[in-house]
Amino acid sequence: MIGLFILLGCNKDNTVNKSQTQIESKEMAVTEETLRQAMDAFNRHDLDAIMEYFSEDCTFDFPRGPDPWGQRFVGKAQVREGLAGRFRGIPDVHYSEDSHWISADGNKGVSEWTLTGTTTAGVKVHVRGCDLWEFKDGKITRKNSFWKIVEPTTK
C-alpha cells in the first residue's frame, strides 16, 4: 500500500509539475500580438523596447550586405548596433500593412510588411518584405529579414 501511495504521490507531483511547466511555457510564448508590439517598438525607433524582445544570443540577418544572407549581427550588442545603424540610415523608416503568423509549435513565425522611408542620401524606399522569426523561452533568437528588390521597368 505504501508503494502505491508513493507511486500515486509521484504521479500527482508530475502532473502538477507538467501543468506548471505548460503554464510557464504559455506565459513565455511569443504570439502574433507580441510581434505587433515589437513592430510598434520598431516604428518608434525605441531600441531599449526592441531589445527586450530578443534573447542574449540572438541573431539578425539584414536583407542587404556583403554575404548571400545579407549582413549578420550576432548577440544583443551587435543587433542593437545594427538597428541603430538602420535608424540612422533611414531616419523615418516605418513598417505598415503588416500581418503576422506563429507556427503551431510556437518556435517560428513570419511577418509581412511594407517598409517606407527616405535614406540620408535622399533616396525614397517603399518595399514589401518579410521577417522569418525563431523563438525560444519567449524571446526572439533569430530575425531573418527579406526585402523585395524594386527595379525600374524597361519598356
pLDDT band at 23 (very low <50, low <70, confident <90, very high): very low
The whole-model pTM stands at 0.79
Angle CA 45–49–143, to nearest 5: 80
- Within a 10 A sphere around the Cβ of 135, how many other Cβ atoms? 23
Domain assignment present for residue 152? The answer is no
Burial letters 81-96, b for 16+ CB under 10 A, else e: ebbeebbeebeebebe
pLDDT tens per residue, range 67-76? 999 999 999 9
Distance CA 61, CA 65 (A): 9
If one counts every other C-beta atom within 10 angstroms of the C-beta of residue 50, the result is 20
CATH number at residue 81: 3.10.450.50
Confidence class of residue 152 from pLDDT cuts 50, 70 and 90? confident
Residue 16: give the domain boundaries. 1-29
Q: Give the pLDDT mean for 18-26.
A: 40
Q: What is the pLDDT of residue 150?
A: 87
Confidence of residue 151 (pLDDT cuts 50, 70, 90): confident
Tell whether 25 is covered by a domain: yes
